[in-house]
Amino acid sequence: MEKYYLTTAIDYVNGAPHIGHAYEKILTDIIARHYSQRCDDVYFLTGTDEHGIKIQKTAAERGITPKELCDENSRKFIDAWKALDIDYNRFIRTTDDDHVNTVQKIFKKMVEKGDIYKNSYQGLYCAGCESFLSEKDLTEDGLCPHHLKKPELVSEENYFFRLTKYKDAIIKHIKENPDFIVPSFRANEVLNQLEDIQDISVSRSKSNVQWGIDVLDDKEQSIYVWIDALSNYITAIGYDTENPSEKFKKLWPADVQVIGKDILKFHSIYWPAILLSLDLPLPKHIFAHGWITIDESKMSKSIGNVIAPVDVLKNFNMENADAFRFYMAASAPCGKDGNYSDDDFKEKVNAHLANSMGNLLNRTLSMLVKYFDGEIKEDFKVSASNELVEGSMSLLKTAVGKINIVKNNFDNFEIAEAAQEIIDLTDITNKYVTDNAPWTLAKENKMTECGQVLTTVLDVMCIISSLIYPFCPNIAKDMANQLSFDHKTKLDNLTFDNIKTGKIIEKNDIHPVFLRLDSEFADKSAKK
């Protein structure tokens, strides 16, 4: 695998980031970190969408310029992603000069190709969606199904994109590439939407929308959201209509574009059509994740259940975001909706990260120090001719087998499923310790057998630390340090024999990698 390029949707900066925004960024960051364990060149793009009527109106209400509002709110997203350890390569803003200039060139090229034309238009416009809706898109009461507001009837002269020109090509691509849209059950939704598509408006009159990118040869028109916002995926890596950068040539097409299910239509119909118009290949996968509810209720400002991700970290006095990242990523199967609740969050992360994984490492290292002064001896290592404790080789084979299972999960964007495989491996390893009772072996003076049990567990813990790294980078690094193991080891280089021989740890260097959220020590640690 030479490269891996992945993107998120860019967030609209008319407000602050909430837990739904965080879910998408966490998922994508976890995917990026996983592939960094398999590939040397991973490029992760995220950013903010900063043009349109909503920003124009909100800025006017506050008595500031649209750019000042964008600067203020994009900073909130940048700060939130930093707190959540989102390790992107570029944070693009659609007000960035390179993006603005390239979008103008893209629009002009599509005009010259005949794919964009000017026409008078009357339609139902939802400001919340930044989109024109048809009658069949609305609820029985004539409302936008997402914002539950009546769209405005708009009449103006706009530029239109010949979306219908590419209808058959997109249908053919979806049918011939069943993994283009993930999860696959979403493909039928898109194919149904394609049946009734019409050409779409790709500009707005300056008399209605001033805050946007000017059409180069028509300063009375602003380039409308889809060509502006969607093009960020190529402008950010150096696309140019005449002389694309070497970075673009290497990275495009994207390996996966991670989006919410509510904007799948725009990414699986509008975006492929724009790319086809530009004679560019389509992304390999469009991964549409589900929504996050709060205590089983949809997030809504009116009922006051919108949660800022940073507030979760503060409420639980967490020094880093690992527990939140793990919980969010594990909250929903591939493409399905998930739920967040404080009680479930505390219960799950305490059970999996503190009681199961953290405690397993802590007590195993403590026994290694107690019985062997922290030293791994050569005759503790398991081999076909040196399996002193039954089940040791079987556990190691299971652990190595989990690596390929988790890789396959990620290849299919089954992130929650991958997390469960790691927890299952931890549970199996805990059972191995209970079944073989190294403390009893030590009492019986079966020291080599005792050492083999501990070494086997620590070999598996090296694998667990690698597999959990994308979810919990801080915990994984702490685990690896206590194991004297290189946390940057590529997944393909993990074996039955990961723990080195010799002294690996001192008693004073052993500490819990994750404290229970309700523990007295966790509270004290956070308050220091």
Query: For residue 326, what pLDDT band results from cuts at 50, 70 and 90?
Result: very high
Q: Which of 298, 397, 431, 443 is catalytic?
A: 298
| DSSP states of 103-138 | HHHHHHHHHHTTSEEEEEEEEEEETTTTEEE-GGGS
Ramachandran category for residue 252: left, alpha or beta (phi over 0 → left; psi -120 to 50 → alpha) = beta
Q: What is the pLDDT of residue 123?
A: 79
The answer to whether residue 302 scores a pLDDT higher than 70 is no
Q: Which of 21, 25, 285, 289 is catalytic?
A: 21
Identify whether 431 is a catalytic site residue: no
Q: Which residue has the higher pLDDT, 444 or 302?
A: 444
The answer to whether residue 527 scores a pLDDT higher than 50 is no
Q: Which of 34, 70, 126, 450 is catalytic?
A: 126
Identify whether 70 is a catalytic site residue: no
Tokens for 229, please give them. 């916002």
Q: What is the pLDDT of residue 524?
A: 42
Strands 116-126 and 131-133: antiparallel
Average pLDDT, the chain: 94
Tell me how many helices (H) and strands (E) the chain has: 21, 18
Q: What is the pLDDT of residue 128?
A: 76
Question: Average pLDDT in the 461-477 region?
Answer: 98
Q: What is the pLDDT of residue 525?
A: 44
Question: Average pLDDT in the 438-454 region?
Answer: 98
The answer to whether residue 286 scores a pLDDT higher than 70 is yes
Q: Are 466 and 476 in contact (CB under 8 A)?
A: yes
Q: Which residue has the higher pLDDT, 208 or 415?
A: 415
Q: What is the pLDDT of residue 193?
A: 95
The answer to whether residue 265 scores a pLDDT higher than 90 is yes
Helix boundaries (H) for 196-341: 225-230, 232-235, 246-251, 264-265, 271-277, 309-315, 322-329
Among candidates 49, 128, 12, which has minimal Cα distance to 137?
A: 128
Identify whether 352 is a catalytic site residue: no
Q: What is the pLDDT of residue 399?
A: 98
Q: Biggest alpha carbon distance in the chain?
A: 90
Rounded Cα gap, residues 62 and 73, in angstroms: 13
Rounded Cα gap, residues 102 and 241, in angstroms: 8
Kindly report, residue by residue over 345-387, the tens digit of the pLDDT: 999 999 999 999 999 999 999 999 999 999 999 999 999 899 9
Least confident window among 195-209, 453-467, 468-482: 195-209
Q: Which of 136, 219, 301, 528 is catalytic?
A: 301
Contacting residues for 418 by C-beta, under 8 A, at least 6 apart: 34, 406, 409, 410, 467
Domains of the chain: 342-527 (1.10.730.10)
Q: What is the pLDDT of residue 295?
A: 85
**Which residues on adjacent β-strands are paired with residue 256?**
6
Residue with tokens 């809706």: 133
Q: What is the pLDDT of residue 232?
A: 98
Identify whether 129 is a catalytic site residue: yes
Least confident window among 137-146, 236-245, 493-502: 137-146
Residue with tokens 């900063």: 50
Q: Which of 25, 99, 144, 402 is catalytic?
A: 144
The answer to whether residue 94 scores a pLDDT higher than 90 is yes
Helix boundaries (H) for 1-96: 19-36, 53-62, 66-83
Residue with tokens 């390179």: 98
Q: Are 269 and 298 in contact (CB under 8 A)?
A: no
Task: Give percent above pLDDT 70 in the chain.
Answer: 97
Q: What is the DSSP letter of 224?
A: P
Q: Are 44 and 28 in contact (CB under 8 A)?
A: yes
Question: Average pLDDT in the 501-519 region?
Answer: 91
Q: Are 453 and 436 in contact (CB under 8 A)?
A: yes
Tokens for 188, please give them. 């039928």
Identify whether 109 is a catalytic site residue: no
Q: Which of 70, 129, 450, 472 is catalytic?
A: 129
Q: What is the DSSP letter of 64?
A: S
Rounded Cα gap, residues 431 and 435, in angstroms: 6
| DSSP states of 311-370 | HHHHHTT-SSSHHHHHHHHTSS-TTS-EEE-HHHHHHHHIIIIIIIIIHHHHHHHHHHHH
Q: Which of 82, 147, 175, 431 is catalytic?
A: 147
Q: What is the pLDDT of residue 375?
A: 97
